[in-house]
Structure 1
Amino acid sequence: MNGALAETSSRVPGVTPGLLCSVVVSTWVEDTTAGPVAFLLIGHPPARRQGETAESVEQQMLGLSAALDLAEPAENIRHVGNRVLLLGSSGALLTIAGAPYSLRLPSVGAEWSRMVGEGCPVCILLGLDPISPHTPERATQEYLGAALATGRLRMGATAAMDAREPMGLAR
């Protein structure tokens, strides 16, 4: 599933509309030793546009990671601020501080939306290696395992924003 964008009011270098429209986004809920966690995986498909290379896409993904304040995996995942704005029962935006756009997530599903709305934490996982859209669950788990083992994953914890919080969306 590819992301979409929603315009906001400022700029962050490297976070472009093209990047946000091309990322691969997956969401799921998992029971962990810390309790239920909502997951959000952001990846990118293999380079496919004219002039695009694996290195240029990786640099864009590192820019997105920096804009989201994500870090290399650690025992304690740091909180990067409340960045999820729920839109009804299965829609959501991921806000990017200082960026001209927010990432509109593909349908997150009613369970994900309900749990996040009730305060369930969201673990953002950003992969630096390509992943194809519509990757099956088992292949996604293998991708995450390999990315974690090779340091090609960035992580952060977030939560739902209060809808009354200002987020800078263009009106």
Structure 2
Amino acid sequence: MDTGPLAWLFIGHPGPRRNGETPTTVETGLLDMAHALCLAPASQKTPNIGGRVMLRAGTAALSYGHPTTVMRLPPTSRQWMSHIALGGLAVVALGLDPIPPGTGQDGIDEYMHRTGIRDRLYMGMTSLRRRWT
């Protein structure tokens, strides 16, 4: 099925950094987020997780299931924002393995391939959420 152009939203982490964090606690938190977002392992059909992306005054955020908090996204391109604002689809990809900060596009592509074939990458299809709440 051809869905046309897609925006991508990659959620990665650099590994444990805070006091008390371990690889296990980081992975548990990420799996909780994947389940709250209704993401599926990359080897399965990518589910439609409903409208989760919110736009306001040039800022984008992801509603990830928390009752009072959203995840503010880093600055995105105008093309990405326009795509979402006009009803385009976005793939949310959440990786369980650490990825070094500053990894470029080639490294992210390799990461997604490597983690996807091992079911360490969770994905879902989303779009614009019409309400910012």
Q: TM-score, normalised by structure 2?
A: 0.91
1:83 aligned partner: 52
2:15 aligned partner: 46
Q: Identity percentage over the alignment?
A: 35
CA displacement 1:49-88 (0-9 Å, x = unmatched): 2221111100010011111111112463111110111123
RMSD value, Cα:
1.8
Cα separation, partners in 2 of 1:106 and 1:76, compared to 1, 3 Å:
same
CA contact 2:39–2:46 (8 Å) conserved in 1: no
1:37 aligned partner: 6
CA contact 1:67–1:99 (8 Å) conserved in 2: no
Pairing 1:52-131 to 2, within 5 Å after superposition: 52-74=21-43, 76-89=45-58, 91-131=59-99
Match of 1:60, as an amino acid? G
Cα separation, partners in 2 of 1:151 and 1:36, compared to 1, 3 Å:
same
In structure 1, stretches of 5+ residues that fail to align are 1-32
Match of 2:126, as an amino acid? T
Instruction: Give runs of ≥4 in structure 1 deviating > 4 Å.
Output: none
How far, CA to CA, are the matches of 1:143 and 1:74 in structure 2? 15
CA contact 2:43–2:116 (8 Å) conserved in 1: no
In structure 2, stretches of 5+ residues that fail to align are none
How far, CA to CA, are the matches of 2:25 and 2:66 in structure 1? 22
